[in-house]
Amino acid sequence: MTSLANLSGVSNTFPPITNLPNTHKNPKRRRRQFQILGLQGGQTQQAPQQCPVPITRRAAIGLVSFILTANSTHKTSLALDNGFWYEEPLPSPSISNQLANTNTGTRSFLKKGIYMANIGVKGSVYRIKKYAFDLLAMADLVAEDTLNYVRKYLRLKSTFMYYDFDKVISAVSLNDKQPLMDMANKLFDNFEKLEDAARRKNFPDTKASYQETSVMLHEVMDRMSSLYKTI
């Protein structure tokens, strides 16, 4: 086969590229280099030009950290006035009705460090119904190798239901207080049994306790549906 002819004085034979910059370096730590290749009169000219300030991932993170640190030193005069965040520790929720376990004075499933926003009594009624539905939808999660997730999910949902029940009980009429409190305490007793069985990784006890709790969750949903219309 006939070799290619030279075009415009450019040689058809290029020198082999033996050493490429950063060939053997880790590509994650590699700094980008821009090289300009010019072909003139059969000669190959290589003019490496590096960015005067190489921008790496580490440098970018350091720059962002510096900006955030610098901004944090400014006086946040609006932080306590705009209502968007707390600069002090989050307020701990509390209850005013007899919903705690009489033996321990608390509930074993309660999760600490949760902020309870004030969504009103009607919002609490809606959330109780919504979280009861979420716990009913957890049926497929109850298995021998997922009990740890069952316990975490239960603690999160039941903690909100605990404080929401207290708010709703305080707002209903006197005739509705005791029946609603009895329902809540019975539900929370089952939550403690379910949480304890999941913590011990006892699948038969967890499954039996969850089936019993599911019946109560249906009752809670029905009660909240009727209460939502009247409250």
For the segment 38-88, what is each residue's pLDDT rounded down to a tens digit?
Answer: 444 444 445 445 545 555 655 565 555 555 544 444 444 444 444 666 666
**74-128 confidence digits (pLDDT tens):** 444 444 444 666 666 777 888 899 999 989 999 999 998 888 888 999 999 999 9
Quick check: 160 pLDDT over 90? yes
Residue type, 1: M
Q: How many domains does the chain have?
A: 1
For residue 228 the two structure tokens come to: 């939502």
How high is the pLDDT of residue 146?
A: 94
Structural domain includes residue 109: no
Structural domain includes residue 61: no
Task: Tokens 């019993």: give the residue.
Answer: 212
Which domain range does residue 133 map to? 120-230
Structural domain includes residue 48: no
Q: What is d(CA 2, CA 80) in angstroms, rounded to the nearest whole number?
A: 82
Give the per-residue SS3 of 8-21.
CCECCCCCCCCCCC
**Residue 118: C-alpha distances to residues 36, 93, 137, 147, 231 (Å):** 63, 11, 26, 32, 16
CATH number where 165 lies: 1.20.120.290
Structural domain includes residue 130: yes
For residue 53 the two structure tokens come to: 């300030």
Question: In 3D, which of 96, 113, 102 has the Cα closest to residue 160?
Answer: 113
How high is the pLDDT of residue 121?
A: 95
The b/e string for 173-187 (b: 16+ C-beta within 10 A; e otherwise) is: eeebeeebbebbbeb
Quick check: 35 pLDDT over 80? no
Structural domain includes residue 39: no
Residue % of the chain over a pLDDT of 90? 54
Structural domain includes residue 169: yes
Task: Tokens 């309660």: give the residue.
Answer: 110
How high is the pLDDT of residue 15?
A: 52
Structural domain includes residue 37: no
Q: Are 134 and 157 in contact (CB under 8 A)?
A: yes
Structural domain includes residue 78: no
Q: What is d(CA 19, CA 48) in angstroms, rounded to the nearest whole number?
A: 13
